[in-house]
Structure 1
């Protein structure tokens, strides 16, 4: 059952923690980085359970990286037969939940094989079936909530909203008043709660309703980024009445930059390049790709654009096949686009070393889908954003970044769902050259300093994870 299910004697004396993400780079990446932090900074041995069913090429490559140290053991779970449960129309959260459900049928056997017994199991939101197994085995289970604390607060409020509200939430006359937090406009509600009749909503409600079963909730955020929401989670009577377990802000947990140098960036002026990357699962329609290309060309700004084969069916069409797109961009970009943009632009198919690019002194902005991992990577490197949310809770994140934190502008509102080239041109120029861009860059650099300080020994996020580590050693 995978590799190194039973540890070698050399590291068997170290305290042992098991980490379990659901499939998808957006879930695997932060849990892997948390596992690396536990190994390198806190002296743990970690078994990282890899759900192999429908794993993407990018996920498999990540988990076989030379970065993985000896005390982090990747354990491949057996392939699960989901052929009778899934179809091409099965939506992402339903697909994730059913894959996890079938893959975890072996979890009790696997956990009992580990010697010594694990001190804790850390899961993400879509693996809550593990609570039942670990309760029987008396293994404390912690949830690593990989999105914002604002989404956690809304999610904890959702069961009450589900009981009290009539009709669809998107039709409510006013924004959703989340206890102690900024209200959420109905148009910004995450995709999974926009239709209460479908399985996507029922599965999301199932998982988040089980969050109070956790021994604790780790949050990928920090005090300096979301102070109001974190205070509400700790102090507002609503969350105390649920009651929720202790929350531990341990972020930003993001990928560390390697030694790779982006040669093209090295030839550009400082803070002049716009990175355009809409996430590992994000896809645009053919019409939208054309408008984005023309917008970048008209802006006359330097850019690195991570392109992906368009999809007119779904905005998250690449979720389960990230890293496998090998199509030629010339087949779907405007004719002559790469030749006309020349040295000013670089087109990269499918994937780029995003952290290295965001950490480069010559990067001046990030056109992003506002997934939480990418948001933290941008903020932690002091890079302002152009917000282009596509799916899940990304609209909520975009509103927070623009209206509450002040490090982003909207790409545009779009007409008929398509953001036009003139709006894109304006946003690109504003971010790289405009006064608004300077103000956002100043705020982003303040948060970069805050992120650095919270992760140092003695910083709030470092100490939060250290306190958990002490519990697991006891």
Structure 2
């Protein structure tokens, strides 16, 4: 009897647990959509942004979803980050060094299966040519929103119109289709400095967006109408005319965060929230890596104390001020809350506030009836989690593309107020923290934002419903593969 040829989808996330989880969530969604007509293989690199939780996570997914298999590449250890090379440049170099592994694995899979498509993270663009020369259709999975995708698609045009680094263009606004104007110095770090090899890798990546067979985006049509239109109409692809790659908005795709060892202790915050009155608690959390200097933590504490409002605040290990970056990459280092907050703060606010160390179950927190506001770093996963929960937000961007997201949240979605950040070091005063908390909870504008947030919550649910825009987009995507 002739053996039936199997069909498979191969996925390739960028390094890091966050990118892996997002890709796995897409894989789970595809399996649900197409009743397992395809198997799915996810390729994982080893040696950069590794985390002990990755292995336990993929073991759990392999057990619960047997049609998803993982293949780990051998460790690439030749890359040692130098003091003169940015983390982003190292990351791009690492991804490129795995191209030989990508080609080998794709050829191996092709011997026993028909690869319907190769879905890659945008940061893995250097692997596109490998698959294309093998006749495998390449699709991008973009884990941020449509506004950032529109900006990146237009970036080659912006690049061609200046020779200066954005970091030097103080007071100059960057304008891209589908986006509000953005101060040049607030562009994503990877493109700020033309002297950084990461800038040129980003340019290469952005030039390849238009070459994809399609782009899958973790957003939904009704959330980012302006940016989606700019992509569909091709205005952010000025060299393509009216023939941009198709975009498939399949979100909101919400992934459960990985729970650290202290998760049980930190889940106590849920029972605390359940005892608070409806819509009275402001939740502050700045993503998996967002952190602050001791001086900034002091200002936040003073602002919260003066606001008089209830709060749940997730505090991470403080950063060293001389590093100038609002993120920590090792969140496992122990520290005492009392040692990083103003003397007596926890005791003075214990009747209306709770401070937890390092981590909280964010999706569960945001779903609590008592939560009435969310101070967020504007990371895209957090934005979507706030939208799905219908919680109004205070936008406090820290790094990466978060200033772009801030603009979308405030000006297009109208689900957030933004903190005023000091020019240069982006410091936020305690008075500003107090002002924005009061504005969100007490003011007429805050009431309007709450109403808009609840409407978007309903739209997010409808987008994933039987006849919703995201459900249709996913069905159309799968149909293109079935037709080939």
Q: Give TM-score scaled by structure 1 length.
A: 0.89
2:459 to 450, 466, 471: 450
Is 1:269 aligned to residue 264 of structure 2? no
Partner of 1:210: 208
Q: Superposition pairs for residues 175-214 of structure 1, below 5 Å? A: 175-179=173-177, 181-214=179-212
1:105 to 85, 95, 100: 100
CA gap of 1:179–1:387, structure 2 versus 1, over 3 A, is closer
Give the Cα–Cα distance (whole angstroms) in 2 for the partners of residues 391 and 178 of structure 1: 19
Shift of 1:41: 3.2
CA gap of 1:473–1:417, structure 2 versus 1, over 3 A, is same
Partner of 1:46: 40
CA gap of 1:362–1:62, structure 2 versus 1, over 3 A, is farther
Give the Cα–Cα distance (whole angstroms) in 2 for the partners of residues 239 and 74 of structure 1: 34
Q: Superposition pairs for residues 212-361 of structure 1, below 5 Å? A: 212-236=210-234, 239=237, 241-242=239-240, 244-255=244-255, 262-311=270-319, 312=321, 313-319=323-329, 321=330, 323-361=331-369
Shift of 1:329: 2.2
Shift of 1:187: 4.6
Are the equivalent residues in 2 in contact too, given 1:17–1:119 (CA < 8 A)?
yes
1:145 to 127, 142, 148: 142
Question: Over residues 56-88 of structure 1, what are the superposed CA-to-partner deviations in whole Å (9 max), with x where a residue is unaligned?
Answer: 34544543446842222233222111434x235
Partner of 2:408: 400
Is 1:422 aligned to residue 431 of structure 2? yes
Is 1:123 aligned to residue 120 of structure 2? yes
Number of equivalences:
459
Are the equivalent residues in 1 in contact too, given 2:281–2:311 (CA < 8 A)?
yes
Give the Cα–Cα distance (whole angstroms) in 2 for the partners of residues 410 and 228 of structure 1: 20
Give the Cα–Cα distance (whole angstroms) in 2 for the partners of residues 473 and 98 of structure 1: 35
CA gap of 1:404–1:238, structure 2 versus 1, over 3 A, is closer
| Stretch of structure 1 that moved more, 24-33 or 366-375 | 24-33
Partner of 2:91: 96
| Stretch of structure 1 that moved more, 423-432 or 64-73 | 64-73
Are the equivalent residues in 1 in contact too, given 2:419–2:433 (CA < 8 A)?
yes
SS in 1 for 2:282: strand
Are the equivalent residues in 2 in contact too, given 1:175–1:184 (CA < 8 A)?
yes
Give the Cα–Cα distance (whole angstroms) in 2 for the partners of residues 409 and 391 of structure 1: 18
Are the equivalent residues in 1 in contact too, given 2:7–2:114 (CA < 8 A)?
no
Give the Cα–Cα distance (whole angstroms) in 2 for the partners of residues 293 and 63 of structure 1: 38
CA gap of 1:329–1:172, structure 2 versus 1, over 3 A, is closer
Is 1:79 aligned to residue 88 of structure 2? no
| Stretch of structure 1 that moved more, 260-269 or 216-225 | 260-269
CA gap of 1:368–1:335, structure 2 versus 1, over 3 A, is same
CA gap of 1:302–1:65, structure 2 versus 1, over 3 A, is farther
Shift of 1:25: 4.0
Alignment RMSD: 2.6
Structure 1: state its 5+ residue gaps: 1-11
Give the Cα–Cα distance (whole angstroms) in 2 for the partners of residues 370 and 18 of structure 1: 30
Give the Cα–Cα distance (whole angstroms) in 1 for the partners of residues 227 and 473 of structure 2: 17
Give the Cα–Cα distance (whole angstroms) in 1 for the partners of residues 392 and 54 of structure 2: 28
Partner of 1:434: 443
1:135 to 132, 135, 138: 132
Give the Cα–Cα distance (whole angstroms) in 1 for the partners of residues 283 and 7 of structure 2: 41
Is 1:70 aligned to residue 98 of structure 2? no
Structure 2: state its 5+ residue gaps: 260-266
Shift of 1:356: 1.2
Give the Cα–Cα distance (whole angstroms) in 1 for the partners of residues 301 and 52 of structure 2: 27
| Stretch of structure 1 that moved more, 87-96 or 132-141 | 87-96
Q: Give TM-score scaled by structure 2 length.
A: 0.87
